[in-house]
Structure 1
């Protein structure tokens, strides 16, 4: 008996040791998966919370095609939570299309959707959360959906299906292996061991190299079993996501997928072997057709179509041939046949970065079989593109919408959620562009990014002409920017990860005296970086200055300044925020809101902090001087003016400003 007990202890010892190690690791903060929601500050029955930018780390924890992939991106989104608020909350889950790539966060479809729903719901507060994560396939999307239920949404929108072949947790041959791997990595000990192995295995690839890394999975032929596996994987994961929502009492909404069919040439294609006689002839026809189409005109298109017909007699199941046929037929105004050719080219693409039509069929089948709501985004884009297929007007690259496409996607969602009566409150696209702060300089960066994408493998074949078009358009748009906008953009390039581009543009426009333009840019910066010291609070202070410099009535910015003042109390609790900056921001906002006592307290405290005084002197001192003179503290104002002059070049600006304010005060002005 003792022998058997001893053997049992020996057998169980490794398991017990592993369990002990796991238990110890669970006691150490930060060793588990990062949570989706963080609480940043609390006061008076409200909490400042935020979605967690490093939440996606749970999906980026293994090697893909021999490379360790760096953590995927998800934008943190702060928000105020209150039990007293009867809000309507929507969560949008997906990959980079949901994220809004390649545009700023405020120009992504969830941001436009929030603006539209706010119009439709009237006085009821609306929140839309963007849980778009770079490059994830539907398995990871379904896990993100499960986590998103923590936000207690009224509706959860799922846009997924483009990344089944080349996305993270995509193109799996075994769903059970995928699930086991994911669950195993939720344990601390396996993650620690895996991290050590990955650290020893070299540096991870960056997000910018992700496309090239995932492309190493190679082509997916037309009869490759992985095509059917991808459909089954998408179906299985959408069903899991829908069921999770329903069990939580949340309304799930599926979406079909839109893609660039008209403009984006297939990344790869089946084709005859060019070393054979037939292959050489086939390629001669196809290359000749491509060259003729570059010439333009119906005559060239007719000749190109003849060469393509000749090639098709040799081999017709080629994505490139079908795409070129679509271009020729479009030039000849044979729209129905052109549309069929472009759709076929998308399905024949053997490197399917765009979801084949079978994925939309699967999404519709899931919606039908589970009786779940579905927004037909594909139909909305097809309707908007008529008589053509979706192309460069609506799509920035192969699957990511332009800003116009983002609005179209948002409008399709809003039309589905809102009642017919509420839809009457929606504004025009141009009005939403203005509200969300669409600025020309950001379009330059988008064009440059798309030019680089289409010029490099695996996207470059038959897309180089479009790459050159983007490069030229970026140059033309740059040349149309004002000198102030160009200087602001150049300055941003030196610290591009620190603040939004639109904020550097706003600062430069203000410095050069373009106060109206600066005001709209500061508003955009607040949307882009809410609850941040520079993007939100500094921009709000500058809104007050812009309103003053343009002669705008204080009521025009009153609500925005009041909102920013409320946010200062929460931002003040964030780690690393300078208390003197909070004093400066709150004092300035109180001043513009006509609250002199609170303004003077904050402004004087900020001025007496040397580092803050040096950084914000020309914005801080005039407001402080006004408050001091108004409260008959002229001697203090003069003393501070001397300090301000000493901090600059010793010039007379600050003393003269005080004397001018004093003279106006004496005259009752």
Structure 2
């Protein structure tokens, strides 16, 4: 045996021994249950029967410790599925958490009640698996797990975090590049117990990082519509969904995909590529009319802000088709891509067309039908992409109607959609109160105020002004107890501070109305 051959053999044996040692360590950690669990659900023992409860730290490997996203509710289901039960798992991110509204107002909670009404002889479990800020890379492992729990349907509303969530091209969290094969390989490494133990050791040895404020401001990397990363993100989104659909098909589980919605009409893009404008704002240009905006677009065709102002120009003149097109371009060209671009919904339509066991719930179409001039805005979206509570009701109703039309649900019996009730009744059932609405509206004002604009646009001041007026309208309707609680939590002081971000010409009037409201009680 030559010296070179001997050296190669020794290197190979060393590699095998190293891999064996790693594998042995991993096996021991599993055997003695050492290290953080990556499972979405953990087996627990109820008083009557074993059940699976959601793991509040299931997403630990996707975020730095100071930004770890915990599950805000206690989703659980029996380990032994009853014969007459229809079990549905809903996968997604902050929309499923209900943000910025209470978690119990998220659409899965409406959906469970609507299905019980539409199919009165069936028992439904709609298990909400939503975790803030995750994307379809994160859903790959979670989907594989929940498919082992005897689901009758897998429901997915996901796509807004593909750029900014873990492994995305602009993410502030875990990033390994845009190559999906490399990302998946490293994700498997991250899911090992050994990785979790080593991660915990490092965290204990190194100084604990300061607790950071989680929010949109963390995302600082830009992406343009012509960048390779833009295209690669869309391709990864498609392939991740295809992988989930294929895994579900192997187990004969149908999948429902929902199209995505975001605020077109009332949310100004966060970042724009407008090199020709200098210090001149797009709002200043808008005052000069359509021709001026189009002239500037000839110089800066990818300026999201200019497309947005053009959309507002058309919308104010009820030129709905032109307004819709301009608003869509504004969203798709936003260089901080928190809102899923148009071609993501095209991907969802294509996947539903290509696969027999994929049901499409066209939430976007339903929202457009329910919106003035058919353009989605703040009537149904709270800020940039999260639906209002009525919007969640509309998502759930659209899903029930899609299921009733599809063969996949025929074995549940015939749906009776006439049994579905109005929004107000379901809102009461999920426990949505006026006090919650007023409290969360203050939180929404704060979120809008903290939007990471380089220069706050006029639209932001208009939104905050409208929200303050809604507070002035609704606060007198609170019970005396709820009013006292609101005031004790600093609600009045907060609204007075937010007058700084109202439209300047309306601040004096708002100040007088706040004085009248709080000094008369």
Specify the TM-score bucket, using the shorter chain as the normaliser.
Answer: 0.7 to 0.9
Distance 1:225 1:198, change over 3 A: farther
Among 270, 288, 299, the residue aligned to 1:314: 299
Structure 2 partner of 1:36: 40
Normalising by structure 2, we get a TM-score of 0.82
Distance 1:244 1:461, change over 3 A: farther
| Kept after mapping to 2: 8 A contact 1:102/1:400 | yes
Among 389, 392, 400, the residue aligned to 2:375: 389
* 1:345-360 matches, cutoff 5 A: 345-360=330-345
Looking at structure 1, the residues matched to 250 and 217 of structure 2 have their Cα atoms a distance apart, in angstroms, of: 39
Alpha-carbon displacement from aligned partner over 1:472-526 (angstroms, at most 9, x marks no partner): 5345533542221133456789xxxxxxxxxxxxxxxxxxxxxxxxxxxxxxxxx
Alpha-carbon offset, residue 125 of structure 1: 1.0
| Kept after mapping to 1: 8 A contact 2:81/2:150 | no
Looking at structure 2, the residues matched to 233 and 12 of structure 1 have their Cα atoms a distance apart, in angstroms, of: 33
Alpha-carbon offset, residue 457 of structure 1: 4.1
Alpha-carbon offset, residue 85 of structure 1: 4.4
* 1:513-592 matches, cutoff 5 A: none
| SS of residue paired to 1:55 | coil
- Is 1:87 matched with 2:85? yes
Alpha-carbon offset, residue 49 of structure 1: 3.8
Higher mean displacement: 391-400 or 140-149: 140-149
Among 48, 53, 56, the residue aligned to 1:50: 53
Normalising by structure 1, we get a TM-score of 0.64
| Kept after mapping to 1: 8 A contact 2:320/2:375 | no
Alpha-carbon offset, residue 310 of structure 1: 4.0
- Is 1:250 matched with 2:253? yes
Looking at structure 1, the residues matched to 383 and 281 of structure 2 have their Cα atoms a distance apart, in angstroms, of: 27
| SS of residue paired to 1:88 | strand
Equivalenced residue count is 467
Among 137, 158, 174, the residue aligned to 1:160: 158
| Kept after mapping to 2: 8 A contact 1:285/1:311 | no
| Kept after mapping to 2: 8 A contact 1:285/1:307 | no
Distance 1:269 1:285, change over 3 A: closer
Alpha-carbon offset, residue 471 of structure 1: 4.3
Among 126, 129, 146, the residue aligned to 2:127: 129
Distance 1:173 1:98, change over 3 A: same
| Kept after mapping to 1: 8 A contact 2:265/2:377 | yes
| SS of residue paired to 1:126 | strand
- Is 1:485 matched with 2:482? yes
| Kept after mapping to 1: 8 A contact 2:77/2:127 | no
| SS of residue paired to 1:288 | helix
Looking at structure 2, the residues matched to 102 and 144 of structure 1 have their Cα atoms a distance apart, in angstroms, of: 24
* Structure that is richer in helix per residue: 1
Distance 1:12 1:155, change over 3 A: closer
Looking at structure 1, the residues matched to 485 and 80 of structure 2 have their Cα atoms a distance apart, in angstroms, of: 38
- Is 1:327 matched with 2:285? no
- Is 1:59 matched with 2:62? yes
Structure 2 partner of 1:406: 392
Distance 1:43 1:74, change over 3 A: closer
Looking at structure 1, the residues matched to 190 and 476 of structure 2 have their Cα atoms a distance apart, in angstroms, of: 50
Alpha-carbon offset, residue 320 of structure 1: 0.6
Looking at structure 2, the residues matched to 205 and 109 of structure 1 have their Cα atoms a distance apart, in angstroms, of: 34
Structure 2 partner of 1:284: 280
Greater radius of gyration (CA): 1
Alpha-carbon displacement from aligned partner over 1:63-101 (angstroms, at most 9, x marks no partner): 5xxx96324435321344555441111111011112221
Gaps of 5+ in 2: 170-176, 406-413, 491-521
| SS of residue paired to 2:214 | helix
Alpha-carbon offset, residue 413 of structure 1: 0.5
Distance 1:321 1:240, change over 3 A: same
Looking at structure 2, the residues matched to 16 and 102 of structure 1 have their Cα atoms a distance apart, in angstroms, of: 48
Distance 1:367 1:482, change over 3 A: same
Looking at structure 1, the residues matched to 213 and 398 of structure 2 have their Cα atoms a distance apart, in angstroms, of: 31
Structure 1 partner of 2:508: none
Structure 2 partner of 1:453: 447
Looking at structure 1, the residues matched to 82 and 256 of structure 2 have their Cα atoms a distance apart, in angstroms, of: 27
Structure 2 partner of 1:220: 223
Looking at structure 2, the residues matched to 77 and 309 of structure 1 have their Cα atoms a distance apart, in angstroms, of: 51
* 1:6-17 matches, cutoff 5 A: 14-17=18-21
Looking at structure 2, the residues matched to 201 and 287 of structure 1 have their Cα atoms a distance apart, in angstroms, of: 48
| Kept after mapping to 1: 8 A contact 2:45/2:51 | yes
CA RMSD of aligned residues (A): 2.9
Structure 2 partner of 1:27: 31
Alpha-carbon offset, residue 227 of structure 1: 0.9
Alpha-carbon displacement from aligned partner over 1:105-131 (angstroms, at most 9, x marks no partner): 221100000010000110321111111
Alpha-carbon displacement from aligned partner over 1:353-389 (angstroms, at most 9, x marks no partner): 1011011111222222233221111111111114141
Distance 1:492 1:81, change over 3 A: farther
Structure 1 partner of 2:509: none
Alpha-carbon offset, residue 440 of structure 1: 1.0
Looking at structure 1, the residues matched to 273 and 160 of structure 2 have their Cα atoms a distance apart, in angstroms, of: 20
Looking at structure 2, the residues matched to 11 and 335 of structure 1 have their Cα atoms a distance apart, in angstroms, of: 65
Distance 1:148 1:491, change over 3 A: farther
| Kept after mapping to 1: 8 A contact 2:439/2:486 | no
Alpha-carbon offset, residue 154 of structure 1: 0.7
Distance 1:155 1:12, change over 3 A: closer
| SS of residue paired to 1:328 | helix
Distance 1:451 1:12, change over 3 A: same
Distance 1:15 1:219, change over 3 A: closer
* 1:462-477 matches, cutoff 5 A: 462=457, 463-465=459-461, 466-474=463-471, 476-477=473-474
* 1:144-223 matches, cutoff 5 A: 144-171=142-169, 172-203=177-208, 208-213=213-218, 215-216=219-220, 218-223=221-226
Looking at structure 2, the residues matched to 207 and 127 of structure 1 have their Cα atoms a distance apart, in angstroms, of: 36
Higher mean displacement: 333-342 or 196-205: 196-205
Structure 2 partner of 1:510: none
Structure 2 partner of 1:605: none
| Kept after mapping to 2: 8 A contact 1:154/1:251 | yes
Among 271, 281, 289, the residue aligned to 2:274: 271
Distance 1:93 1:13, change over 3 A: closer
Gaps of 5+ in 1: 274-278, 293-302, 494-669
